[in-house]
Structure 1
Amino acid sequence: MGSRLAVLGAGSWGSALANVLTENGHQVTIWTRDQEQQNEINTRHTNTHYLPEFKFTDEIAATTDLKKAVKDVEAIVVVIPTSGIRELARRLDTILDRKVTIIHASKGLERKTHKRISTILDEELSCEYVTGIVALSGPSHAEEVINRDLTTITAASVHLESAQYVQKLFINDYFRVYTNTDIIGVEIGAALKNIIAIGAGIIAGLGYGDNAKAGLVTRGLAEISRLGVEMGADPLTFMGLSGVGDLIVTCTSPHSRNWRAGYQLGKGEAIQSVLDNMGMVVEGVSTTQAAFELAKEHAIEMPITEAIYDVLYKDAEVKYVILNLMKREGKAE
């Protein structure tokens, strides 16, 4: 007998995770703010805006009623943009009346506070109703998960038993879940890789090849590790799925919206035009600002992040930003 679960957020990743859970025998309700999207999922079992060629099983139901979505559930999977996490958590705190595990599969840092998502959830949700907070993260494109492509991902929590519970919910023969107690490192890696993915898209749009991409990813990982360790992460986490693994998948694939945004910037498009045409939130844009400010606050050298920040927020010309990175003073690796 499966568990009763809620997935809050009906974008591509929320839809893919809901499908995994349903295929594992769980009863899943998807919450969406969009009445038309609710009707489409419930009547046609599709979500064409985000996954045009995908069809849900008939068992999945959608609702715009948050209270109805989370009624009598054992766990709640939060899959919405970082900017909306705090407001949603506050709403949940007025609704919850039983103990649940909170799982988040979003990747970002809060813009003004620079806080990680698990920190936001912990601040806003009453501890009497939350048995654990788990970050679900790793190299995973929704478009491939719904096709049952082999995927490996990490469930991270300060409480190992919570991570193991989430592992059991999701794991199957195409979706393998590992556990990790370094939630700081997992969340930092998940958030900051989007910045590097924008950079990878930029250099692809400028016409540079594999040498440039490899250099960017490698030095990007060094930046992520420096800031992550300063914030309390285990450096080994960044050699795992939510570090180098997530970097590989987001920096090499057009499935990544952050890569696609960077590619358009590399082709000369203005940032506002790119965001207007994307149709989905590009988390790396706001995360770049948060990481840039964190680096300054902690006196951490992050030249790639600073370069992407200059492109996004100071209208710096991308080709000159890249050249300036290459002309920095030589130093040891």
Structure 2
Amino acid sequence: MPMNIGVIGAGSWGTTLADLLARKGHAVTLWAYEADLVERMTRTRENDLFLSGVTLASNLSFTADLRQAVAGRELLLLVPPSQVMRGLMQRAVADIAPDCLVVSAAKGIEIDSLRTMSEVLEETLPGAFHQGLCYLSGPSFAREVAAGMPTAVVAASRDQAAARRVQEAMSTEAFRIYTNTDILGVELGGALKNVIALAAGVADGLGFGHNSRAALITRGLAEMTRLGLAKGAQATTFAGLAGMGDLVLTCTGDLSRNRGVGIELGRGRKLKDILAGMKMVAEGVQTCLSTYRLARKLGVEVPITEQMYLILYEDKDPRQAVIDLMARDLKSEGI
């Protein structure tokens, strides 16, 4: 049954999901921060800033008015950069209908509070929403979803009925959604894999080969799982789409912004120069800082994240970071 849906955030992923939902027959309004982008999307049916070359559904509406995007919606899909989620929800909360199904597709950890997106939403939304909050994650490049390529992701919620509603509302012939109850595992997988993807990019930029990438992915997964377990997530989730699936995609795919930043770092470019030339957010840069701080707070060993932190925030030479990783004390394999 068609739903009245608001999508908050017109980056490549938010725009793609809004277009997917509109093409499925839902009444969808996409909110963008940039009023001039809203005007252009309305006129040209294209997000030339974040998803150029993709013609958007004729029934998709656009607005720069947050209240208009939120009020009266049956489903609210949140896809902003993770660091602005709290501020947006503080502005929007008064206009969210009491029976609205709220879904987050943002991937990150707040830098100042070290809160995951589920923790941010539970701090900003009334308690009546908490049980049914859903979190969407998994291996999904926006451009491939927009092109109709087969994709599988996960919707996690404490309320299985809410997860099934998301599954039914968003699944298509090419976009398959599985359900899960491990909220922390699903959202941490989506956030932490971006940090490992930065490291995989650094290895590529240094000219290393498949051996190096395989080692980073495998030990990165162990690192992600350790931190997830310390936060209360389930180990099995990291072996699924939101963990291993998203990690492999982001560490190997040419469309990965985080891997792309890592490649440039490995080639010797400075972070500020790389970011200055980017339109879209590479979430892993900020997530690396928050993950590093969170791991220290929880007493969890995260050697890959630690070296990426030193590269990004203390200007450590990437090649020396690899040497230091390889020179760590020898140990048995395991989580």
Query: TM-score, with normalisation over the residues of structure 2?
Result: 0.97
Sequence identity, in percent? Answer: 40
1:283 counterpart letter in structure 2? E
Secondary structure at the residue paired with 1:6?
strand
8 Å CA contact 1:99, 1:131 repeated in 2: no
Letter of the aligned partner of 2:278 in structure 1? M
Does residue 161 (structure 1) correspond to residue 146 (structure 2)? The answer is: no
In the alignment, the residues of structure 1 paired with residue 332 and residue 289 of structure 2 have an alpha-carbon distance, to the nearest angstrom, of: 27
Q: Tell me, what secondary structure is at the counterpart of 2:187?
A: helix
Give the match's secondary structure for 2:300: coil
2:137 pairs with 1:147: no
SS of corresponding position for 2:277: helix
Between 50-59 and 127-136, the greater mean CA deviation after superposition: 127-136
AA paired with 1:22? Answer: A
Shifted more, 90-99 versus 208-217: the winner is: 90-99
1:2 corresponds to which residue? 2
Is the 1:97–1:129 Cα contact (8 Å) retained in structure 2? no
- Three-state SS of the structure 1 residue aligned to 2:101 is strand
Which range moves more in the overlay, 274-283 or 255-264?
A: 274-283
Q: Look up the equivalent residue of 1:214 and give its one-letter code.
A: A
- Specify the alignment match of 2:45 in structure 1: 45
In the aligned structure 1, how far is the partner of 2:254 from the partner of 2:105? 20
Larger mean CA deviation between 119-128 and 253-262 belongs to 119-128
Q: Aligned partner of 2:106: which letter?
A: S
Q: 1:277-316 to 2 correspondence within 5 Å?
A: 277-316=277-316
Query: Residue deviations 1:5-26, cap 9 Å, x none?
Result: 0000011000110111112111
Structure 1 counterpart SS, 2:94: helix
For the 8 Å contact 1:205–1:266, the answer to whether it is kept is yes
Pair 1:23-2:20 in alignment: no
Amino acid at match of 1:185: G
Which residue of 2 is the match for residue 63 of structure 1? 63
Which residues of 2 match residues 248-327 of structure 1 at below 5 A? 248-327=248-327
C-alpha contact 2:204 2:263 (8 A) present in aligned 1: yes
Q: Structure 2: how far apart are the matches of 1:42 and 1:313?
A: 40
Distance 1:137 1:199 in 2: 21
Is the 8 Å Cα contact of residues 138 and 152 (structure 1) preserved in structure 2?
Answer: yes
Q: Which residue of 2 aligns with 1:239?
A: 239
1:36 deviation in Å?
1.2
Preserved CA contact (<8 Å) 1:100 1:131: no
| Cα displacement (A) at 1:130 | 6.5
Question: What's the CA shift for 1:129?
Answer: 5.9
CA distance in 1, matches of 2:256, 2:159: 30
1:78-89 aligned at under 5 Å gives the runs 78-89=78-89
Q: How many residues align?
A: 333
Larger deviation, residues 138-147 vs 283-292: 283-292
In structure 2, the partner of 1:122 is 122
Cα separation, 1, equivalents of 2:328 and 2:130: 48
- The answer for unaligned runs of 5 or more in structure 2 is none
Mapped contact 2:185–2:234 kept (Cα < 8 A): yes
1:259-289 alpha-carbon deviations (Å, 9 max, x no partner): 1111110111101111111111111111111
1:94 Cα deviation (Å)?
2.3
Distance, in Å, in 2 between the alignment partners of 1:97 and 1:230 is: 35
Query: What SS is found at the alignment partner of 2:179?
Result: strand
1:324 Cα deviation (Å)? Answer: 1.1
1:185/1:237 contact within 8 Å kept: yes
CA distance in 1 between counterparts of 2:129 and 2:166 reads 17
Q: Which residue of 2 aligns with 1:105?
A: 105
